[in-house]
């Protein structure tokens, strides 16, 4: 069992680091690259879920994409940090109880959110925004909370 726990700990922390690298990679995109990335995602979503999008003129499509840009970008912040919160809680839970794992994940996740925004301050065209830290922290809270809830539910079922 000890070997399994060590392996689990290593795998989970590698997943945490890999996900942090994904977030870091997105944060290194300058403003134009970031807009292009989110624009492509929005275009794909609208093409698949908005029945009239393909019939719009290019100018109308551009305006529709712009209308959705802010919400999609902030939802992306929230989502990637929710995944981070879940992974951090799982990694911390190997050695800590549920409450301590949740608290540790929140602290580490929020510190990473601050460092991510600080990093963006130095990327051309990007900004360091407290609002984004709050959105990221909310994502960490949701991810950590969902993991903790699932873990507690599974533990209750075992007993």
The whole-model pTM stands at 0.87
pLDDT at 5: 85
Long-range contacts of 78-81 (CB under 8 A, 24+ apart): 78/135, 78/136, 78/138, 78/139, 78/142, 79/139, 80/19, 80/22, 80/23, 80/26, 80/139, 81/23, 81/109, 81/113, 81/135, 81/136, 81/137, 81/138, 81/139, 81/140, 81/143
pLDDT tens-digit series, residues 94-127: 988 777 999 999 999 999 999 999 999 999 888 8
pLDDT at 137: 97
Q: What percent of the chain has pLDDT over 90?
A: 64
Of residues 104, 110, 105, the one with CA closest to residue 130: 110
pLDDT tens-digit series, residues 77-97: 999 999 999 999 999 999 887
Task: Please compute the mean of the pLDDT values over residues 50-70 and round it to a whole number.
Answer: 89
- Cα–Cα dist 11/136, whole Å: 24
pLDDT tens-digit series, residues 31-50: 889 888 888 999 999 989 98
Give me the residue spans of the domains in the chain.
2-31+77-158
pLDDT at 159: 72
Task: Please compute the mean of the pLDDT values over residues 59-84 and round it to a whole number.
Answer: 93
Q: Provide the mean pLDDT of the chain.
A: 92
């Amino acid at each position: 069992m000890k070997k399994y726990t060590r392996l689990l700990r290593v795998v989970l922390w590698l997943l945490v680091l890999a996900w942090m690298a994904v977030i870091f990679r997105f944060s290194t995109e300058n403003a134009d690259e970031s807009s292009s990335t989110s624009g492509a995602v929005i275009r794909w979503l609208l093409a698949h879920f908005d029945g009239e999008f393909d019939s719009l003129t290019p100018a109308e499509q551009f305006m529709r994409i712009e209308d959705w840009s802010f919400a999609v970008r902030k939802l992306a912040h929230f989502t990637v940090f929710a995944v981070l919160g879940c992974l951090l809680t799982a990694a911390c839970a190997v050695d800590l109880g549920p409450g301590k794992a949740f608290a540790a994940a929140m602290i580490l996740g929020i510190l990473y959110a601050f460092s991510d925004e600080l990093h963006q301050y130095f990327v051309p065209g990007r900004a360091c925004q407290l609002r984004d830290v709050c959105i990221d922290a909310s994502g960490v809270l949701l991810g950590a909370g969902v993991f903790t809830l699932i873990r507690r539910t599974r533990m209750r079922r075992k007993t």
